[in-house]
Amino acid sequence: MPTSTIIEPFRIKSVEPIRWTTRRERESHLRAAHYNLFLLPADDVLIDLLTDSGTGAMSTNQWAAVMRGDESYAGSRSFDRFRESIQDIFGYRHVIPTHQGRAAERILFSTACRKGDVIPNNTHFDTTRANIEFVGAEAVDLPIAEARQPSAWHPFKGNMDVAALDELIVRVGRDNVPLVMLTITNNSGGGQPVSMENARAVSAVCHKYRIPLYFDACRFAENAYFIKLREQGYENRTPKQIAQEMFALGDGCTMSAKKDGMANIGGFLCTNDGVLAAQEKDLLILTEGYPTYGGLAGRDLEAIAVGLQESLDEDYLRYRIASTAYLGSHITEHGVPIVQPPGGHAIYLDAHAFLPHIPLEEFPGVALAAELYLEGGIRSVEIGSLMFGKAAKMELVRLAIPRRVYTQSHIDYVIEVILAVWKRRHEIQGMRLTYQAAFLRHFTAHLERTELAQTVV
Ligand SMILES: Cc1ncc(COP(=O)(O)O)c(C=O)c1O
């Protein structure tokens, strides 16, 4: 039954109220939060698009699975179901549960990398980069050139520059590259997918130099669906078959199950390397827990086992990708500049193009995020100069869509709010920092509007 209306492929069984606030209240909440939306109480937010991580709604089948969670310390049946579900999709020999994605990263890089090593990726997510740098290695981003141009349209803007990868390995020497990573979809690059062709080419370079390939698999199901939609030869394959084919090109993965695991917490690390897996489990026991729970409750393992399979459901993926694209296309129709094409889990507003009158030193992304809150109680996140300082390549505001949480009318409301801010964009002022922490300053920074600024600490 073809229809242009996007409907949620689920019924709602349990609801959570959200609260309206007045513009005056929001102005005062903003001031109290020092214009940093991380510092807002969630109750003062109407539509929370801060992140898609751990914010999704679980299904009836996941809640039913939660009830059969086996909380045994060792040898839990829930771990068997968790491992079986992961191996069914990912196919790797060793499955190590962790409390979330960054714990999998820390364990992988602490065991596989040494000081001075170089780890290439299409684009490292911030926790991935931080965990690599923590062990004294260097994280190198090698996206294709189009990835750095917000308005350029490319079906697989998450692709890695394969020639640059080869050159890097030759330049630094294969012994200094313990592994290559490929992030699907490329979150920091705009939630953009990686094609099977590109993954195959990256895998071929890795094989040539005998370097293992690891996927950062957070949004693997969304990536698989983009391949089905956009890559020739995959139209008739299921998202699961596509995911299986892609993972077969690699040797392991890290995963935050808070994304396409459809869970509120959890993650895992996989590898085909038995020696490495033994070292990783030793480290796991030291900081996360026994290898059959790894910092998670048995019920979390159950929710992830079911959620991973649900994320590959075609009706769900069709709605998810269409709904994000709908938001993107309705604002672009009115001239709002975004990273093109719309990604899987988020829309990224190009704050620099949205507010060209605000210099980069005055944080156009923070100013825009504050206005979206002021206008309609929407919480987003700046991904630009506040987050990355001088290393920022773009000034973006990310609107990340939690999975199965908001309906199409919520999305219509978000469009209305963005367009209202777009109309009065010339009145928006820049921001100035009044407090910053020594690292990861965006979480706790204090700012004020430029005309009010007095001190910089
Ligand atoms: C691509 C990517 N990798 C890794 C992570 C880290 O996962 P977690 O937040 O579960 O530690 C994230 C989280 O947003 C991510 O988007």
Which residue among 49, 50, 102 is best mutated to probe the pocket of ligand 1, counting the most ligand atoms within 8 A of its Cβ?
102
Q: Is 187 in the pocket of ligand 1 (CB under 6 A)?
A: yes
Q: Is 62 in the pocket of ligand 1 (CB under 6 A)?
A: no
Ligand 1 center–CA 451 separation, angstroms: 36
State the Cα–Cα distance between residues 306 and 169, nearest whole angstrom.
39
Q: State the helix-helix crossing angle for 408-423 and 364-376, rounded to 10 degrees.
A: 120
pLDDT number for residue 62: 98
Ligand 1 center–CA 101 separation, angstroms: 5
Q: Is 53 in the pocket of ligand 1 (CB under 6 A)?
A: yes
pLDDT number for residue 3: 66
Q: Is 130 exposed, middle or buried (0-12, 13-18, 19+ CB in 10 A)?
A: middle
Distance from the Cα of residue 46 to its chain's centroid: 22
The residue assigned the tokens 């992140």 is 51
Q: How confident is the model at residue 188 (pLDDT cuts 50, 70, 90)?
A: confident
Q: How confident is the model at residue 445 (pLDDT cuts 50, 70, 90)?
A: very high
Q: What is the pLDDT of residues 23-69, one digit of tens each?
A: 999 999 999 999 999 999 999 999 999 999 999 999 999 999 999 99
Does pLDDT of 2 surpass 80? no
Mean residue pLDDT of the chain comes to: 95
Q: What is the pLDDT of residues 22-36, one digit of tens each?
A: 999 999 999 999 999
* CA triple 321-405-293, angle to 5 deg: 95
Of the candidates 144, 151, 154, the one whose C-alpha atom is nearest the C-alpha of residue 123 is 144
State the Cα–Cα distance between residues 124 and 126, nearest whole angstrom.
6
Host H or E run for residue 434: strand 431-435
Of the candidates 188, 240, 223, the one whose C-alpha atom is nearest the C-alpha of residue 320 is 223
121, 183 contact by CB (below 8 A) = yes
Which protein residue has the closest C-alpha to ligand 1 atom 8? 101
Q: Is 385 in the pocket of ligand 1 (CB under 6 A)?
A: no
Does pLDDT of 281 surpass 70? yes
In this structure, the strands spanning 396-400 and 431-435 are unpaired
The dihedral region occupied by 139, where left means phi > 0, alpha psi between -120 and 50, and beta the remainder, is: beta
State the Cα–Cα distance between residues 305 and 82, nearest whole angstrom.
5
Host H or E run for residue 383: strand 381-383
* CA triple 249-253-258, angle to 5 deg: 130
